[in-house]
Amino acid sequence: MRNNKIAIFASGTGSNYDAIIAAIQAGELDCEVALLVSDKPAAKVIEKAKQNQTPTFVFDPRQYPDKAAFEQEIVEQLQVNNIEWIVLAGYMRLVGPTLLHEYEGRILNIHPSLLPAFPGLDAIGQAARAGVKITGVTIHYVDEGMDTGTIIAQEALPVTNEMTEVDLQKQIQRIEHKLYPQTIQQVILHTNRKGN
């Protein structure tokens, strides 16, 4: 029997973390954020997690010999906390085989472009510099590639000539904060219904 405990992996300001917590509190998302994992000890999201009493696992990758070593420790933390789903929200690292093997098909990521356009770092800046007239947000399953897993949801955003990169970022984030909780809810419900 599956539970709906999720771990959020984040290393930034945590606006998506906030949006997920708000959706749970509003009764729109039926899950529990049972762990926050961060690879950046100074990340703002860690303070937010502490204020919300979300348990945290914060690590510094430089303290480990390799990715397999820190991912093994992450897996142990996930298992101790009974985590069923991993939700990446600004975790800027490729997920390696150690984590993928344990959580196959149960790792989601959000990316601020219409994939497969503009994968990797600074997707909003990449789109702005390319002068595209439409960009957006993608939510996808995570595989071993860089933002390459199966796409679950996308929402487009028209880009006008007047928009600065800051405007673009604000509007992308507004979409993210709505689309991520909705999509997490759909994926969890659908998977539980199938009895996986």
Residue 85 β-bridge partners? 6
User: Which of these is catalytic: 101, 111, 177, 190?
Assistant: 111
Catalytic residue check, 190: no
**Residue among 127 and 188 whose Cβ is closer to ligand GAR:** 127
Q: Answer whether 39's CB lies under 8 Å from 60's CB.
A: yes
Phi first, then psi, for residue 102 (nearest 5°) are -75, -30
- Decide: 74 and 81 in contact? Cβ < 8 Å: no
* DSSP symbols for 116-182: TSS-SS-HHHHHHHHT-SEEEEEEEE--SSSS-SPEEEEEEEE--TT--HHHHHHHHHHHHHHHHHH
Name which of 4 and 16 has its Cβ closer to ligand GAR.
16
Find the shortest distance in angstroms from Cβ 48 to ligand GAR.
10
Question: In terms of CB distance, is 1 or 121 closer to ligand GAR?
Answer: 121
Shortest distance, CB of residue 183 to ligand GAR, whole angstroms? 13
- The Cα–Cα gap between 123 and 119 comes to 6
Query: Based on CB atoms, which residue is closest to ligand GAR, 55 or 125?
Result: 125
Enclosing H/E stretch for 88: strand 85-88
Binding site listing = 14-16, 67, 92-95, 109
Closest distance between ligand GAR and the C-beta of residue 2, in Å?
Answer: 25
Binding site for ligand GAR (CB under 6 A): 10, 12-16, 45, 89-90, 110-112, 123, 147, 176
Binding residues for (6R)-10-formyltetrahydrofolate: 67, 92-95, 109
Q: How far is the CB of 80 from ligand GAR (least distance, A)?
A: 25
3-state helix, strand, coil in the chain (%, to 5): 40, 20, 40
Give the residue numbers marked as catalytic. 111
